[in-house]
C-alpha cells in the first residue's frame, strides 16, 4: 500500500503556522513532524507551499436529482475539489424536494456513485412535513433546513411563518438551519417597483427590494423564538451589517445555540457591482452595500460569524440573463471560494489561521463531522496544498461547473490550489484529476 509524504511544507492548523512533514497512509493523516521517507512513500516537495485542511462547504446546491441541466453531483464535486473543497453539505431543493428520509437516502446513494468529494445532505422542512420531521429521530442528521424550498412553493419560508417556526423550535431536537428573509416585506417592495418599472426593474434595486429590513426582522424574530425554546438555530448566509449584532462572540462555538455564516460572494461583491454584472450577481438574500460587506468581514474576524460557505447555486446562463423578475437567483462559487479568501489574506484583511478556522475547523465542529476539518494524526486525510505565488485568471476554459460560467470571470487570483487529497486519495494534482475513488458520506457524530 503506497503512502504520500509531503516534505518541508508550511502547515496552517489550529491557530498555528509551522514548517513540517506529513505522511498520508490508508486514507488517514498518519504522522505530522520531521519525517524520514520510507520505500513506499510517494514524495511531494512542499517547499514554499502551504498545507491546509480541506475546506468544508456547509451550503451548496448541486441540483441532483431533478435539475441536472444546471449541475450535478459529479461536475460540481469536481469543481469543488479543484478549489480545495473536500466536503460539502447540499440543500434540499432538488427534485423531488428532500422532505422525507427515503428521498434523503436516495441522494446519499447517488452521491456515493458520483461525488469526488465527501457529501452530506440537509433534510428539508417546511409547512408540509413539519409534523413528520418533529416525530423523526434527527440525532444523526447534519441539519434540517428550508433553504431554497420557497422556490417550489411560495409561502414556505420558515422565517415568514412565526407559528410554524415556533412549533419547530419547541418540538424538534434537530439542528435547524434557516433562510431568514421576510417575504411580506419583500412583496410590498416588489409591488412598489413593479408599479414604477413594470417587468424591467433595474437589478441595482434588488437589495432595496430584498432589503436590509427584510433580513434583519426575520433574523431577529427567529433568534428570539429559538432562545425562547432553547432550540439549536443556524441562520444561513447573513448579508447585512445590522444582523451581525444579533450574534455573540463571548462564548466558544461549541457552547453556542445560535450560529451563523457568511457566503464568500457577500464578502467579495457589493451593490457597486450590479452595474457591471447585472443579474449574474442576483442572489437571495441580495448582495448589499459596501458597508454591509465590510461589516460582515469584521463580524467574521471577531467571531460573531462562525463559518464561511458558498451557497453554490448554479443556473444555466439563459436562466440568469433575463429581466429582473424572471432571472433566477443564485450563482456558482465553489471552485473559487478559497481563492477569494486568500485574496483577502493577501490584502492584509484576514489571517490564514482565521480562514482555516472559518472554512475548515468550524464547519466540522458546527455540523458534528467526525475526524475531519483539522490536521491531526488519525483524522481523514482531507488536505489542500496551495501555491501562494501563482497568478491566474478565471475564464471559460478553466471553469469546471456544468453551467460553464462564473460571476468571477476575468478576475485574477494570486494563489492556486495545486493538490487536493480526499480521504488520502490524491484527486487533484496540478490541474489533472485522478477519479478512481469517490468521497465518503457525512453524518452527525453519534454521542
Ligand atoms: Zn442556499
- 402-413: per-residue pLDDT in tens? 999 999 999 999
Counts of helices then strands in the chain (DSSP H, E): 15, 20
Would you state the pLDDT for residue 153? 66
Inter-residue contact 174 to 245 (CB < 8 Å): no
Q: Write down the residue that cell numbers 475539489 correspond to.
A: 81
3-state secondary structure (DSSP) of residue 29? strand
C-alpha cell belonging to residue 354: 482565521
Ligand 1 centroid, distance to 24 Cα (angstroms): 34
Q: Find the 309 Cα to ligand 1 centroid distance in Å.
A: 9
Question: DSSP of 319-368, one letter per residue?
Answer: HHSS-TTTSPP----GGGHHHHHHHHHHTTSS-HHHHHIIIIIHHHHHTT
Q: What is the structure's pLDDT at 338?
A: 98
SS3 content of the chain, % helix, strand, coil (to 5): 35, 20, 45
Per the CB < 8 A criterion, the answer to whether 435 and 77 are in contact is no
Cα(156) to centroid of ligand 1, in Å?
14
28 CA distance to ligand 1 middle (Å): 31
Vertex 84: Cα angle to 378 and 98 (nearest 5): 90
Instruction: Give the pLDDT confidence score for residue 100 in this predicted structure.
Output: 96
Say how many Å lie between the CA of residue 296 and the centre of ligand 1: 18
Expressed in angstroms and rounded, the spacing between residue 157 Cα and the centre of ligand 1 is: 12
CA 422 to ligand 1 center in whole angstroms: 24
Residue-wise pLDDT for 271-303, tens only, equals 999 999 999 999 999 999 999 999 999 999 999
Q: How far is the CA of 59 from the centre of ligand 1 (A)?
A: 6
CB-based contacts of 427, cutoff 8 Å, min separation 6:
81, 116, 117, 420, 421, 433, 434, 435, 437
Distance 148 CA to ligand 1 centre (A): 6
Low-confidence ranges of the chain (pLDDT < 50): none
Ligand 1 center from residue 60 Cα (angstroms): 6
As a whole number of angstroms, the distance between CA 103 and CA 95 comes to 9
The whole-angstrom separation of Cα 286 and Cα 207 is 5
Distance 131 CA to ligand 1 centre (A): 23
Q: How far is the CA of 147 from the centre of ligand 1 (A)?
A: 5
Q: Are 70 and 63 in contact (CB under 8 A)?
A: yes
pLDDT at residue 361, rounded to an integer: 98
The C-alpha cell at 368 is 458534528
Q: How close is the Cα of 236 to the center of ligand 1, in Å?
A: 8
In the prediction, which pLDDT does 446 show?
Answer: 73
Amino acid at each position: 500500500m503506497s503512502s504520500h509524504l509531503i516534505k518541508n511544507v508550511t502547515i496552517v492548523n489550529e491557530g498555528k503556522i509551522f514548517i513540517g512533514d506529513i505522511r498520508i497512509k490508508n486514507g488517514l493523516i498518519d504522522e505530522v513532524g520531521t519525517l524520514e521517507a520510507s520505500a513506499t512513500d510517494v514524495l511531494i516537495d512542499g517547499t514554499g507551499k502551504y498545507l491546509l485542511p480541506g475546506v468544508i462547504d456547509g451550503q451548496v446546491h448541486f441540483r441532483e436529482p431533478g435539475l441536472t441541466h444546471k449541475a450535478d453531483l459529479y461536475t460540481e464535486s469536481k469543481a469543488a475539489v479543484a478549489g480545495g473543497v473536500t466536503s460539502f453539505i447540499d440543500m434540499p431543493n432538488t427534485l423531488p424536494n428532500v422532505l422525507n428520509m427515503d428521498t434523503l437516502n436516495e441522494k446519499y446513494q447517488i452521491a456515493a456513485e458520483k461525488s469526488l468529494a465527501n457529501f452530506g445532505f440537509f433534510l428539508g422542512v417546511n409547512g408540509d412535513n413539519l409534523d413528520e420531521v418533529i416525530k423523526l429521530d434527527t440525532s444523526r442528521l447534519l441539519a434540517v433546513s428550508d433553504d431554497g424550498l420557497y422556490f417550489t412553493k411560495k409561502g414556505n419560508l420558515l422565517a415568514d411563518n412565526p407559528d410554524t417556526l415556533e412549533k419547530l423550535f419547541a418540538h424538534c431536537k434537530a439542528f435547524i438551519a434557516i433562510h431568514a428573509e421576510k417575504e411580506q416585506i419583500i412583496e410590498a417592495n416588489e409591488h412598489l417597483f413593479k408599479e414604477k418599472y413594470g417587468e424591467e426593474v433595474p437589478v441595482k434595486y434588488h437589495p432595496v427590494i430584498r432589503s436590509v429590513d427584510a433580513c434583519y426582522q426575520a433574523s431577529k424574530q427567529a433568534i428570539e423564538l429559538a432562545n425562547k425554546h432553547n432550540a439549536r438555530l443556524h441562520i444561513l448566509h447573513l448579508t447585512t451589517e445590522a444582523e451581525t449584532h444579533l450574534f455573540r462572540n463571548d462564548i466558544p462555538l461549541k457552547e453556542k445555540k445560535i450560529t451563523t455564516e457568511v457566503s464568500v460572494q457577500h464578502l467579495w461583491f457589493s451593490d457597486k457591482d450590479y452595474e457591471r454584472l447585472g443579474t449574474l450577481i442576483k442572489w437571495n438574500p441580495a448582495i448589499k452595500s459596501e458597508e454591509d460587506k465590510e461589516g460582515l468581514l469584521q463580524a467574521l474576524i471577531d467571531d460573531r460569524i462562525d463559518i464561511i460557505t458558498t451557497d453554490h447555486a448554479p443556473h444555466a446562463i439563459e436562466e440568469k440573463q433575463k429581466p429582473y423578475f424572471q432571472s433566477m437567483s443564485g450563482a456558482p462559487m465553489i471552485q473559487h471560494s478559497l481563492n477569494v479568501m486568500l485574496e483577502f489574506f493577501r490584502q492584509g484583511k484576514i489571517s490564514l489561521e482565521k480562514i482555516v478556522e472559518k472554512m475548515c475547523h468550524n464547519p466540522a465542529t458546527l455540523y458534528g463531522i467526525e475526524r475531519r476539518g483539522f490536521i491531526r494524526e488519525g483524522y481523514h486525510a482531507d488536505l489542500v496544498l496551495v501555491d501562494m505565488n501563482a497568478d491566474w485568471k478565471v475564464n471559460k476554459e478553466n471553469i469546471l461547473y456544468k453551467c460553464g460560467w462564473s460571476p468571477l470571470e476575468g478576475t485574477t487570483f494570486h494563489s492556486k490550489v495545486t493538490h487536493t487529497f480526499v480521504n488520502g486519495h490524491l484527486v487533484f494534482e496540478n490541474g489533472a484529476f485522478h477519479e478512481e475513488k469517490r468521497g465518503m458520506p457525512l453524518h452527525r457524530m453519534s454521542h
